[in-house]
Structure 1
Amino acid sequence: MSNNLSAQWEKLLRPGILTLFYREYPLMELYDDACQRIQEFLYKILRFLLRQYPHRAELEQWLYINYPEAQYALNRSSRKRIFSIDQLQTLIHKEFGIHNEMDINYLATTLEHCTKDVLKLAHDYVNRLGKNEIIANDIDLVMNADTIFVEILRSDLNSTTNTSSSNYNIDTTMSYNELIRHFIITETQYKDDLELLIKFFRNPIRKFFHDDLQIIEIVFGCLDDIYELTTRFLSDLEDAKEMRDDITKNISLYEPFQNFIEGNEFECYIKYTQTILATDHIDQLKKMLNNEQIKQYLELKSDQIKETYRYLLPALLHIPIHHFQQYLIYLEKLALFPESESAQLTDVLSVLRQNSYHIKRPKLYMNLSIHAFSMPKLNDNKKNNWKNSIENWDIKESISLFDSYLKHIVIQNSSSTLITNVDRRAILFSTILCLCKNLSNDKWKFKEKIWLRKFNINDQIIIPDHEHVFEIKCDEKNYILAARSEQDKFQWLCLLMYIRNKSILQRELYNILINEDAQQVLLTPDPSRYKFCAPNLPTNILIDYQTNDKSSSSSSFIIRGATIEKLIEHLTHHQLLHPRFVKSFLMTYKSYCTPLELLNLLIERYNIPEPASAYLYTEQQLKKFRKEYIQPIKLRVLNVIRQWVDKYFNDLIESNDHVLEQLQTFLQSIPDTGGLYQFKTSILKLIDKQTIDYQDPSKKNQQQDLITDERDQIEDLDVFLVLKLDVSVEKRVRFTSRHLRTSNYDYHCEFLNKYKAHSSTTKPVLRILLY
């Protein structure tokens, strides 16, 4: 909602304000700008009440304290309201997702009494000045003079800042496309954070509570439900990206959101929030960490993982709650753009807002995403010109992570009998902790900076007559600091552990995922349905493995002979890749198959069936199959076709089997979506270009000469390799006409003539080199 309220809100609020004003003060004049200012203020009051007091009991208590006379108005059910209940209920349901009739009655009464209060204060103020009209400045003055109104305005400002895009690193100048891309990146990072919580923090200690898993559920909540929702949501986003008719079009967010909203699946966030923000949650976490087996397990860990569990984990558990607020921010910003789906996103936003009123925003922790590109910021942090406010300031960073006060404790002698402490303003950045001395009320002097590169935290240090003490151990010097309270100390240690272990946790999760991926077998289609998955047997392929290849640090192999199907399989293999082999194959394929046979085989290779009984496999297995098997093969098939069209177009256009037409039909059948679209478009454009060049006699002859030269230059063929091995020519394998004949007579004779003088003591063996 912008500063200028929508016509629907104005239609609801304006008549009520004017009716109430002229009924109470008929001799006064209320200007339009003043009426507009009151409308905006009433909307802020409504937003304030719905955010702070989402339940009837809380709202009733607030109303009783601030407007006791409102109870009498509520008891008179027959009394006519200034603001229409039906219109208010419709707008609140559309804007905020609230549709409880009793809450609407309380809200309507609250708005009426606030309006009366503002008009009375404005009337009294203007009357003292001897004027008979009220303008916008008068409304601003009286609202800033009333303690209740100031509290509401300040709370609304803090709430806006708390959920602002700057707090979540969202650039307000982004375009619609940039916001969509940023949203998908943020969602991917969020999934990584959830995997970190589940696979690094929860799963390793879960095994110690086989008999009592309830404490795990109390501490970690329904993380599995949220992770499953996020994984499916990301999958739907990827599908939406693939299913675009035009890659230049925006990705639709409405359908992915709508799929889950219809099933009320975002309600898992409400359940999770109730668990994490429960009053006894921290106590349950401490109880879990005090388990003797957990203590022993964590003490064996390096990189202060024990302290990470104690101080950083509680903040990381708030990431899902913060992320749900990010959904609202993104949708609010996207709904403001004049795009076709903006109205639909507004409907999604109203439904999510209904859930958000049951999700209280964490006050103690900021959004400490481990996988975010940038460091988090406090709610009230802005770029500060530190040089103007602090003397001797020499730090280039401008946005702080935390700004608070600490006592710097200095032990003067080794016996710890002489201890001094000084108050310092402590400003925490991503790599530096700065300590400043107070000169006067608003003047500070820079005293010392602590580099936070390689440091450890000691939270068990005890200093006589000092509480809430902790120690930062750096390479050069140790610093003993004391916080103002236990909660302040907890927050300091949380942020310090975040800075210290952010990259370590990223690396730990990466290793976990790599190990899981290595243990997961890649699915393949059934060989009875897909002949390119047949196992390697002596009847279809003969391979020589070269483990002592001096030209390569890894083992290689040579195909001595293979069926055409096996040759196509290795030509477009999902893992093995050798660019020279494609060129060599295309130069020689006409010795053992026709262009039409090759095209049909490539099309068969491209059309990969799903594994049999796909419902028996997990979503992760199927996703890996599509990403690591189907996608690479399809791309490499299209790559072979592109090189075929580019280098040997005559083979296609001069074929009597109408190969070119069949190729174009196949390419047109590829959907205009996903990453294959660009490959398909590129090949079709290349066909058009080659067709035009073929019709030009000069270019046609030139192209034919190039092909003839390439196929005549046997000494440059990469597909053949003459190895000096003590192997007789008689041991070479010859295949039938349906196989690739590795000892083609013409090529073999050419080789013998060229290398006879060079290899007088050994006999050459003709082979096909893949690796």
Structure 2
Amino acid sequence: MSNNLSAQWEKLLRPGILTLFYREYPLMELYDDACQRIQEFLYKILRFLLRQYPHRAELEQWLYINYPEAQYALNRSSRKRIFSIDQLQTLIHKEFGIHNEMDINYLATTLEHCTKDVLKLAHDYVNRLGKNEIIANDIDLVMNADTIFVEILRSDLNSTTNTSSSNYNIDTTMSYNELIRHFIITETQYKDDLELLIKFFRNPIRKFFHDNLQIIEIVFGCLDDIYELTTRFLSDLEDAKEMRDDITKNISLYEPFQNFIEGNEFECYTKYTQTILATDHIDQLKKMLNNEQIKQYLELKSDQIKETYRYLLPALLHIPIHHFQQYLIYLEKLALFPESESAQLTDVLSVLRQNSYHIKRPKLYMNLSIHAFSMPKLNDNKKNNWKNSIENWDIKESISLFDSYLKHIVIQNSSSTLITNVDRRAILFSTILCLCKNLSNDKWKFKEKIWLRKFNINDQIIIPDHEHVFEIKCDEKNYILAARSEQDKFQWLCLLMYIRNKSILQRELYNILINEDAQQVLLTPDPSRYKFCAPNLPTNILIDYQTNDKSSSSSSFIIRGATIEKLIEHLTHHQLLHPRFVKSFLMTYKSYCTPLELLNLLIERYNIPEPASAYLYTEQQLKKFRKEYIQPIKLRVLNVIRQWVDKYFNDLIESNDHVLEQLQTFLQSIPDTGGLYQFKTSILKLIDKQTIDYQDPSKKNQQQDLITDERDQIEDLDVFLILKTKKCLIPLKIHRISSNREKLLRLC
């Protein structure tokens, strides 16, 4: 995008994105960097569509496959779109050339549905984390987790780069920081693949061999050792990232690698490789699957899962071996950068190479990572100009998964007595299988394409006088194909099941992890060290879990009264979120505490200690504690402070206790790492803005009037009245303001 058009594209895309976001998710916040990231992505989508689908018919087909609901939206001609058709047409004309009016409508609809998808994925992701704001990193994660978006990003990358670093899809144009970030993302995906192998494939059948675990070790190797190593390695990478004094500094990979090399812990990869590449490994796998108990277990599963164990599992077991090779490639690339620790990384590389000498590449399957963003490819696969080599070629994809030969078998009548077969060159892509007819030695003609969307595979079909036969059952038509050998058939079925079952396996692992997480008790700090986690008792809080006020839109419980500590706890609860409660509290807090007392309580709430005897708990339990308890509470404390600064800044700046200075000191003490940095920065900027406005008499009076109007014009709002005594806080009834003229506070 040229610099002189950047502002115009932002003027087109930004208002639509914000309108759609706050219309769908009014209680969340979309940071500027996240909005900018979505704008950049929408521009890539537009470029992708204009390059790949320049004609209306092609664009219609793409929309039908990926966004069928867009067809309904297009039929509603009176529907108002969030992106201006006229502005979009003008910018496309300037940037890409002239396109007809109907194409612009389709493009605008596509952009809108892609925006909805990104926002929904981001909302669901941050909501699970207990956050109420979306930052750029969240957008990056969700876009790279969606199949359609990844295909667009990959296509855009392929269009801007001519070469690929290696068979492992490492882009040579990446900067040092981008390569490090890509390495960490890849390592996270690899951990998910290991969890899939252990928790989905191995653990369910391990119980059938409790008297003979040796066969499990022979088939699955030392996966536990590799998983433990990967988990600790990722933890060290996260620590290296968090321990940087400056977020602009590069992350060091040398120390995390060196820590494990000194203990010779990468030796587990040598042991694993020798197990998986053993000559009798496939025979041992078949022996395990032929066990009667395993057969009964798999019979209870769907056909898709049974076929996955037989055809896809052998390839998935090669993922750790491929990943170890990726370590070498990443280190080679990183050592070339002048800003890297070149000498140290070279030393690490030489040690790791000693563990890889025994790996024989011809014996490896391709790298079929279930959680990788990009699709796999053959080791000798190159970008081919299919259009020039195959007559009538109309497929847009350029990188194939497999290129081999099949017989296409056609049964002419229902009695199966008349069977014909033709030789075809079969080229497999991520969503299409193309069949081509041979014209001469080097000339081919495109004959048919099979859309691999919703399809099943029959590997047991028998056709007289034909061997190595399998059937692809699609919605519209079935295709009977015969491979050249049993090994060739096995590879075809492996790849087809990878394409079909990749998302299924991702969901299966997700469900397993969710169930495991639900079974774990969430740790909490010791109440003697952290007063905000004391149990609810009649002496510190009175809650009505049902209300007779049917017109109320509040939650299913109402706080009738509480100590100030309990109010702060529920105000910033790690699970319960009630925006009206925050609003009510900030309007009334001065009736039972001072601004300084409130600030001190919020700071105490923010500084959460570790659970008592933390060394007794597993790393997974502590990680859940930090993710589901510490992080949500800290974010909600900062959210309360942000609303306090935004709505009631006068309470802070006019306090005789220098509350504003103490608040700024607290905010500046928050480390410049993680998602809290963005929140902290936005609050400090808001304080600077509010300070300038306060010094302007007109704006100061205007702000005071807004606060007064807001306090005087509240309808149906819960107001909490609490009186102090020497021993505790006496809970009183909630007063519900139903008239604009009633006083906000009144004693009963």
Change (3 A) 1:54 1:637: closer
Change (3 A) 1:444 1:596: same
**SS, match of residue 715 in structure 1:** coil
Change (3 A) 1:20 1:258: farther
**SS, match of residue 656 in structure 1:** coil
Give how far 1:386 is off.
1.7
**SS, match of residue 449 in structure 1:** strand
CA contact (8 A) 2:587 2:711 kept: yes
User: Residue 757 of structure 1 corresponds to which residue in structure 2?
Assistant: 734
**SS, match of residue 225 in structure 1:** helix
Alpha-carbon deviations, 1:632-674, whole Å to 9, x = none? 1112112222322333333233333333333333333322332
Alpha-carbon deviations, 1:73-127, whole Å to 9, x = none? 9999999999999999999999999999999999999999999999999999999
CA contact (8 A) 1:163 1:325 kept: no
1:289 and 1:362 map into 2 onto residues whose CA distance is 25
Bigger drift between 142-151 and 370-379 goes to 142-151
Give how far 1:244 is off.
2.4
Bigger drift between 90-99 and 367-376 goes to 90-99
Give how far 1:580 is off.
2.9
Alpha-carbon deviations, 1:383-432, whole Å to 9, x = none? 22222222222322222110001122233444444433222111111122
1:236 and 1:532 map into 2 onto residues whose CA distance is 31
**SS, match of residue 4 in structure 2:** coil
TM-score for the superposition, normalised by structure 2: 0.72
CA contact (8 A) 1:95 1:350 kept: no
**SS, match of residue 23 in structure 2:** helix
1:19 and 1:566 map into 2 onto residues whose CA distance is 37
**SS, match of residue 447 in structure 1:** strand
Alpha-carbon deviations, 1:563-609, whole Å to 9, x = none? 10000001111111122322321221110011221122111111111
2:610 and 2:203 map into 1 onto residues whose CA distance is 32
2:26 and 2:654 map into 1 onto residues whose CA distance is 95
Alpha-carbon deviations, 1:172-216, whole Å to 9, x = none? 222222222222221111111111111111111111111111100
1:504 is the counterpart of 2:483: no
Give how far 1:465 is off.
3.0
CA contact (8 A) 2:277 2:363 kept: no
2:29 and 2:573 map into 1 onto residues whose CA distance is 82
CA contact (8 A) 1:720 1:766 kept: no
Bigger drift between 259-268 and 653-662 goes to 653-662
Change (3 A) 1:619 1:58: farther
2:743 and 2:136 map into 1 onto residues whose CA distance is 98
Give how far 1:293 is off.
1.0
Bigger drift between 17-26 and 471-480 goes to 17-26
Change (3 A) 1:765 1:348: same
**SS, match of residue 303 in structure 2:** coil
Give how far 1:222 is off.
0.7
Change (3 A) 1:358 1:99: farther
**SS, match of residue 715 in structure 2:** helix
CA contact (8 A) 1:468 1:489 kept: yes
CA contact (8 A) 1:382 1:399 kept: yes
1:623 is the counterpart of 2:600: no
Give how far 1:255 is off.
2.4
CA contact (8 A) 1:205 1:294 kept: yes
2:173 and 2:317 map into 1 onto residues whose CA distance is 30
CA contact (8 A) 1:408 1:482 kept: yes
1:561 and 1:150 map into 2 onto residues whose CA distance is 51
Unaligned runs of 5+ in 1: 725-755
CA contact (8 A) 1:38 1:139 kept: yes
CA contact (8 A) 1:94 1:347 kept: no
2:588 and 2:126 map into 1 onto residues whose CA distance is 97
User: Residue 443 of structure 1 corresponds to which residue in structure 2?
Assistant: 443
Change (3 A) 1:529 1:414: same
User: Residue 5 of structure 2 corresponds to which residue in structure 1?
Assistant: 5
Change (3 A) 1:40 1:207: closer
Alpha-carbon deviations, 1:660-693, whole Å to 9, x = none? 3333333333223322223333333444444454
CA contact (8 A) 1:273 1:360 kept: no
2:555 and 2:126 map into 1 onto residues whose CA distance is 92
Give how far 1:341 is off.
2.7
CA contact (8 A) 2:218 2:275 kept: yes
User: Residue 517 of structure 2 corresponds to which residue in structure 1?
Assistant: 517
CA contact (8 A) 1:547 1:555 kept: no
Change (3 A) 1:605 1:111: closer
Aligned-pair RMSD on alpha carbons?
24.1
CA contact (8 A) 2:425 2:437 kept: yes
Seq. identity, % = 99
Alpha-carbon deviations, 1:454-480, whole Å to 9, x = none? 222222223333322222223333322
Give how far 1:170 is off.
2.0
Give how far 1:703 is off.
4.1
Give how far 1:722 is off.
17
CA contact (8 A) 2:147 2:373 kept: no
2:348 and 2:627 map into 1 onto residues whose CA distance is 31
**SS, match of residue 245 in structure 2:** coil
Change (3 A) 1:226 1:82: farther
Change (3 A) 1:283 1:579: same
Bigger drift between 161-170 and 8-17 goes to 8-17
CA contact (8 A) 1:527 1:533 kept: yes
Change (3 A) 1:362 1:239: farther
Bigger drift between 289-298 and 48-57 goes to 48-57
CA contact (8 A) 1:523 1:621 kept: yes
Change (3 A) 1:450 1:547: farther
CA contact (8 A) 1:162 1:379 kept: no
2:136 and 2:652 map into 1 onto residues whose CA distance is 79
Alpha-carbon deviations, 1:244-266, whole Å to 9, x = none? 22233333322222222222211
**SS, match of residue 499 in structure 2:** helix
Q: From the CA coordinates, give the structure whose radius of gyration is larger.
A: 1
Change (3 A) 1:5 1:280: farther
1:532 and 1:24 map into 2 onto residues whose CA distance is 33
Give how far 1:381 is off.
1.6
2:609 and 2:255 map into 1 onto residues whose CA distance is 27
Bigger drift between 61-70 and 482-491 goes to 61-70
User: Residue 728 of structure 1 corresponds to which residue in structure 2?
Assistant: none
Give how far 1:445 is off.
1.7
Aligned length: 738
Change (3 A) 1:461 1:198: same
Bigger drift between 598-607 and 407-416 goes to 407-416
**SS, match of residue 434 in structure 1:** strand
Give how far 1:500 is off.
1.5
2:538 and 2:46 map into 1 onto residues whose CA distance is 79
Give how far 1:271 is off.
0.8
1:430 and 1:279 map into 2 onto residues whose CA distance is 31
Give how far 1:307 is off.
1.2
Give how far 1:536 is off.
1.2
Change (3 A) 1:467 1:47: farther
1:649 and 1:478 map into 2 onto residues whose CA distance is 69
Change (3 A) 1:679 1:420: closer
TM-score for the superposition, normalised by structure 1: 0.70
**SS, match of residue 714 in structure 1:** coil
Change (3 A) 1:657 1:439: same
2:708 and 2:131 map into 1 onto residues whose CA distance is 100
2:498 and 2:429 map into 1 onto residues whose CA distance is 12
Change (3 A) 1:27 1:405: same
Give how far 1:223 is off.
0.7
Change (3 A) 1:372 1:16: closer
Bigger drift between 178-187 and 615-624 goes to 178-187
**SS, match of residue 435 in structure 1:** strand
Bigger drift between 50-59 and 272-281 goes to 50-59
CA contact (8 A) 2:585 2:720 kept: no
CA contact (8 A) 2:713 2:740 kept: no
Change (3 A) 1:256 1:45: farther
Change (3 A) 1:109 1:640: closer
Bigger drift between 126-135 and 652-661 goes to 126-135
CA contact (8 A) 1:208 1:294 kept: yes
